[in-house]
């Protein structure tokens, strides 16, 4: 969803959609360059240069996030297959089944930077607690975020539709081994986001990406 928000801000500022080809990079890189003088490029980022501004973040259920890495980055974008074309590794499958991917997640994280980035713990990006943010929005609260930004900006703010993979994956479709690996990997995230999500509440309803 962060991509959708940044693209929406860009359209509001420039009156046109962001053109990755003309910029030579993605929307995240564009705004990192814009903020280079105010935000130190470390993880989690040092936001002291933004003192006085209204800071918000968007979070999502950790298990759903991990499932979407598989459907989006592995299947739709073929990140692993592309990486292994450049640096072959006979121990890894270029298009792994979901059970294989989650079982061997540590190996795929080590071999493919984009997989590592998208499966890094939330604390890597948000810090050890959420206290430095003025507002925290769950991804399910997209309309509330849109309303809040509209009110603060004094003009209509419309979130662009987020591109989603057509593939679907359910937590219940996975093997016990894969489910256990996901729960272990997401435990630190649930601890950080305890005020918003818990594995118990997440597992009580269908988990799909």
Give residue 163's pLDDT band: very low, low, confident or very high (50, 70, 90). low
Q: For 103-161, how does the pLDDT look when each residue is reduced to its tens digit (9 = 90+)?
A: 999 999 999 999 999 999 999 999 999 999 999 999 999 899 999 999 999 999 988 87
Q: What distance in Å separates the CA atoms of residue 20 and residue 38, rounded to the nearest whole number?
A: 23
84 pLDDT tier (thresholds 50, 70, 90): very high
Mean pLDDT of 88-94: 96
β pairing state of 56-59 and 135-138: parallel
Domain boundaries, the chain: 35-203
pLDDT in tens, 22-81: 887 788 888 888 877 777 666 788 888 888 999 999 999 999 999 999 999 999 999 999
Element (H, E) at 57: strand 56-59
Could you tell me the maximum CA-CA distance found in the chain, to the nearest angstrom?
55
The confidence score (pLDDT) of residue 31 equals 86
Residue 102 token pair: 């989650």
- For 59, the enclosing helix (H) or strand (E) is strand 56-59
d(CA 62, CA 189): 6
* Residue length of the chain: 209
Percent of the chain beyond pLDDT 70?
A: 96
């Amino acid at each position: 969803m962060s991509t959708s928000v940044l693209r929406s801000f860009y359209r509001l500022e420039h009156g046109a959609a962001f053109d990755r080809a003309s910029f030579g990079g993605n929307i995240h890189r564009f705004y990192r360059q814009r903020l280079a003088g105010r935000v130190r490029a470390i993880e989690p980022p040092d936001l002291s240069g933004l003192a006085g501004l209204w800071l918000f973040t968007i979070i999502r259920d950790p298990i759903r996030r991990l499932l979407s890495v598989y459907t989006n980055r592995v299947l739709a974008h073929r990140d692993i297959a592309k990486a292994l074309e450049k640096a072959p590794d006979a121990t890894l499958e270029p298009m792994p089944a979901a059970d294989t991917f989650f079982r061997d997640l540590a190996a795929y994280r080590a071999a493919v930077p984009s997989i590592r980035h998208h499966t890094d713990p939330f604390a890597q990006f948000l810090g050890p607690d959420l206290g430095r943010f003025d507002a925290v929005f769950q991804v399910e609260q997209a309309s509330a975020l849109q309303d809040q930004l509209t009110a603060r900006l004094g003009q209509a703010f419309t979130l662009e539709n987020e591109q989603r993979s057509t593939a679907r994956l359910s937590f219940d479709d996975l093997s016990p081994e894969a489910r256990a690996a996901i729960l272990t990997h997401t435990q630190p995230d649930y601890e950080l986001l305890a005020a918003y999500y818990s594995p118990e509440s997440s597992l009580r309803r269908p988990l799909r990406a």
